[in-house]
Amino acid sequence: MTEIRKIILILLAIGAMVAAGSRAGTAIAAQNTGAQAQNTSAVPDTKGREKNLAIGEAEAKQLLLLMDQDQSGKVSKKEFMSFMEAEFQRLDVNKDGELDVKELTQSRLVPRGGRHR
């Protein structure tokens, strides 16, 4: 998977989690609990989870650098929404106000001066 696709998927996941609020976390926890209850003999893959967490943390740090316009080390709602709006506008190549699969899969990450604006 290319880096841009990973970043786009992370952005979409972050946006979905913000929109859904705590429901996403609750649903994931319930799903994980249900899976563990169904298969109690399974040994947790802690090394795989740690590796995935480390990868996710590295990508989250990259996103933070892109979104954090005031370089505070945190992303405010205003910074987040500004970033997402700019990304949507950049990805919406045909300017129809909607993103389709072609626009999402053919996009390229273009950093602007080290920070996204």
How many helical (H) and strand (E) elements, i.e. helices and strands, does the chain have? 5, 0
pLDDT for res 115: 45
User: Measured in whole angstroms, how far is the alpha carbon of residue 37 from the centre of its chain?
Assistant: 29
- Extract the residue ranges of the chain whose pLDDT is less than 70: 1-6, 9, 11-44, 108-117
Question: Which amino acid is residue 63, in one-letter code?
Answer: L
pLDDT for res 25: 46
